[in-house]
């Protein structure tokens, strides 16, 4: 459990929703910074810089809480796997943002919670009933609508890269279910950022582009908004019911549209909005379904499952919904 938020604090009220809305807005601004960097830097370098920008703030926070000992890793193989997945996700998403709008990328990235459900059924042997499979199929119809395989939509490189980022995010969410049994939240956040920085930086080194003054502001924005956004979403899932606050993550599409229109003069077309509606409806059904199954017939609470799907540019911290840790992710 996050040490800064008492587990016994009553859940509910408007504050978790406000925190969720604020966190989603922060991540939309952060991803705008990624888009700006991706315009002049290699995508793999952007991934390394994204992690590096948050690392000092994480260390300062952990030191301020007096929990430096909690950074000790307990399961190296899973830390390394999550780092590789983090590099793939961030680099793929950053590269996609070079040629597509933030809103289009978000609309397609909404497939992530569907993939998490499928992977949980496959790897964790979680039961997925007919209603949930139907919702997943409904969501994938939205993916097809957005991609438009005729070539008019996102079926090109950008769309496929966003799908790859969503898949990496989903697999990472599943690994957290295991890693959370061995490591603290602080440890997962710290080692993810450090290893993504090292792995991404090593791969990017041969083609590293020197930074200049135009890169300073995006990096500062990414570091601050990414950190504040993560804290806000962690608070939201600790203090609020996951089935209530999680659907507000879809407001990311609204923020992305506002940013795209304000900075780049573009908006998603009707077909993209239609496909996104399929994905949003499917995701909300899956989230609400969790609420029905959070207690067993005897009335004993079950460990919450990862529900949060977050911004694609997020450095995937631990999930609030991991067993015994919180109420939804930070994957």
Handedness of CA 3, 120, 111, 41 (dihedral sign): positive
| Contacts of the segment 60-67: beta carbons below 8 A, 24+ positions apart | 61/227, 62/186, 62/190, 65/3, 65/4, 65/186, 67/3, 67/184, 67/186
pLDDT digits (tens, 9 = 90+) for 48-93: 999 999 999 989 988 998 888 888 887 788 899 999 999 999 999 9
331 in Cβ contact with 311 (< 8 Å): no
211 in Cβ contact with 39 (< 8 Å): no
What lies within 8 Å, CB to CB, of 216 at 6+ separation is none
Compute the average pLDDT of residues 170-191.
Answer: 83
Of 11 and 90, the one with more pLDDT: 90
pLDDT digits (tens, 9 = 90+) for 131-161: 888 988 988 888 888 887 655 555 578 888 9
What is the rounded distance in angstroms from the CA atom of residue 47 to the CA atom of residue 127? 35
Nearest to 256 by CA among 58, 35, 96, 4: 35
DSSP state, 264? I
pLDDT grade for 230, boundaries at 50, 70 and 90: confident
What lies within 8 Å, CB to CB, of 263 at 6+ separation is 32
103 in Cβ contact with 260 (< 8 Å): yes
Beta-bridge partner residues of 301: 295
Compute the average pLDDT of residues 257-261.
Answer: 95
Compute the average pLDDT of residues 89-113.
Answer: 92
Residue 46 tokens, joined? 């952007």
Task: Report pLDDT for 86.
Answer: 94
pLDDT at 273 over 70: yes
Compute the average pLDDT of residues 170-181.
Answer: 83
Domain ranges of the chain: 15-292
pLDDT at 271 over 60: yes
Task: Report pLDDT for 210.
Answer: 95
pLDDT at 18 over 90: yes
DSSP labels, 70-114: GG--S-HHHHHHHHHHHHHHHHHHHHHTTTS-HHHHHHHHTTHHH
Beta-bridge partner residues of 295: 301
Task: Report pLDDT for 64.
Answer: 92
Nearest to 184 by CA among 85, 83, 69: 69
In the predicted model, what is the mean pLDDT of the chain?
80
What is the rounded distance in angstroms from the CA atom of residue 201 to the CA atom of residue 281? 38
What is the rounded distance in angstroms from the CA atom of residue 225 to the CA atom of residue 229? 6
192 in Cβ contact with 315 (< 8 Å): yes
Compute the average pLDDT of residues 115-124.
Answer: 83
| Stated pTM of the model | 0.81
Nearest to 108 by CA among 242, 280, 295: 280
DSSP labels, 129-154: -HHHHHHHHHHHHHHHHHH-TTTTSS
Handedness of CA 115, 119, 122, 126 (dihedral sign): negative
pLDDT digits (tens, 9 = 90+) for 80-89: 999 999 999 9
pLDDT digits (tens, 9 = 90+) for 282-298: 988 888 776 554 433 33
> Mean pLDDT: which of 22-31, 187-196, 311-320 is highest?
22-31
């Amino acid at each position: 459990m996050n040490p800064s938020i008492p587990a016994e604090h009553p859940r509910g009220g408007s504050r978790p929703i406000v925190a969720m809305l604020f966190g989603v807005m922060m991540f939309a601004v952060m991803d705008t910074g990624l888009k700006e960097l991706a315009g002049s830097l290699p995508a793999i370098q952007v991934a390394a810089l994204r992690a590096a920008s948050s690392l000092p703030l994480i260390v300062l926070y952990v030191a301020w809480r007096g929990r430096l000992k909690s950074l000790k890793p307990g399961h190296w193989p899973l830390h390394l796997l999550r780092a590789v997945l983090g590099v793939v996700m961030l680099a793929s998403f950053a590269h996609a943002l070079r040629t597509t709008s933030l809103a289009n990328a978000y609309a397609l990235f909404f497939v992530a919670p569907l993939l998490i459900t499928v992977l949980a059924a496959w790897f964790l042997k979680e039961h997925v009933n007919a209603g949930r499979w139907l919702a997943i199929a409904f969501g994938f119809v939205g993916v097809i609508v957005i991609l438009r395989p005729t070539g008019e939509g996102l079926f090109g490189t950008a769309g496929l890269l966003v799908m790859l980022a969503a898949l990496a995010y989903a697999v990472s969410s599943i690994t957290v279910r295991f890693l959370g049994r061995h490591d603290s939240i602080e440890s997962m956040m710290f080692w993810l950022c450090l290893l993504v920085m090292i792995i991404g930086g090593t791969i990017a080194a041969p083609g590293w582009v020197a930074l200049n003054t135009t890169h300073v502001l995006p990096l500062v924005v990414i570091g601050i908004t990414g950190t504040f956004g993560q804290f806000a979403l962690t608070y939201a899932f600790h203090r609020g019911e996951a089935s209530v606050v999680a659907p507000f993550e879809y407001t990311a599409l609204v923020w992305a549209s506002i940013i795209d229109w304000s900075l780049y003069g573009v908006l998603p077309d009707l077909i993209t909005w239609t496909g996104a509606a399929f994905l949003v409806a499917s995701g909300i059904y899956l989230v609400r379904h969790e609420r029905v199954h959070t207690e067993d017939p005897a009335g004993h609470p079950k460990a919450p499952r990862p529900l949060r799907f977050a911004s694609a540019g997020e450095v995937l911290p631990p999930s609030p919904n991991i067993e015994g840790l919180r109420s939804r992710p930070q994957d």
